[in-house]
Structure 1
Amino acid sequence: MEVSLNQHIEITPGVRSGKPRIAGTRITVADVAIMYLRMGQSLEEIAGKYQLSLASVHAAIAFYYDNRQEIDQRIAQAEAFVEAARLNTPSLLKEKLDAMRNYA
């Protein structure tokens, strides 16, 4: 079942884990919020880079601010998962580089 919140934002179970996203795309509201708030990209840049309407990008930011606590919590959980995986998985490239340095 697909739930459409408006013409710009939709939530579809099974697509991007049911995260709110720009309608017709796989770009989540959290993706837009990170690009805008953390990476400093303008909404116009984001729209142009991903061929989105400016209205849909503005809708994503509006949705983010309306649901900020929940979205920030999901972002933090994803970042914690990635960090744990990084710490628990040795880098094969780093091992090879270290081995090369030891031979020199």
Structure 2
Amino acid sequence: MSLSRDEDVLGGEPRIDGTRISVRHVAARVIDSRQSPAHVADQFDISIADVYEALYYYYAHIDKMRELEAENEAAFERVRESSVKPKETVQ
């Protein structure tokens, strides 16, 4: 198992090689959602070694991971702001 980066997949975010599962996806499940590494491995159909390698990478590059998270949140906010809003109903 190894991690890879490809600008054409997940915008170049580090991911588990051969998948579209990013390091941030794994970290979010384990850290934020408090799921066990074994559960995450089962849910993503990856090995537990993949989970631990992703977590190692996440913590070894925590500043870059936080930067990617902030960029992702900002992009979602831009999309939310520019999306078509439903018309208000007149009562």
- So what's the TM-score if we normalise by structure 1? 0.76
Tell me which amino acid in the other structure corresponds to 2:45. Q
Match of 1:38 in 2: 32
Larger radius of gyration: 1
Identify unmatched segments of 5+ residues in structure 2.
Answer: none
Cα distance between partner residues in 1 of 2:18 and 2:81: 35
- So what's the TM-score if we normalise by structure 2? 0.86
How many residue pairs are counted as aligned between the two chains?
91
Match of 1:3 in 2: none
Tell me which amino acid in the other structure corresponds to 2:56. A
CA-CA distance at 1:8 after TM superposition: 2.3
Larger RCO, structure (CA 8 Å, separation 6 or more): 2
CA-CA distance at 1:44 after TM superposition: 1.2
Which segments of structure 1 move beyond 4 Å, counting only runs of 4 or more?
A: none
Is 1:26 the equivalent of 2:20? yes
Identify unmatched segments of 5+ residues in structure 1.
Answer: 1-6
Give the % identical residues: 29
RMSD, matched Cα: 1.6
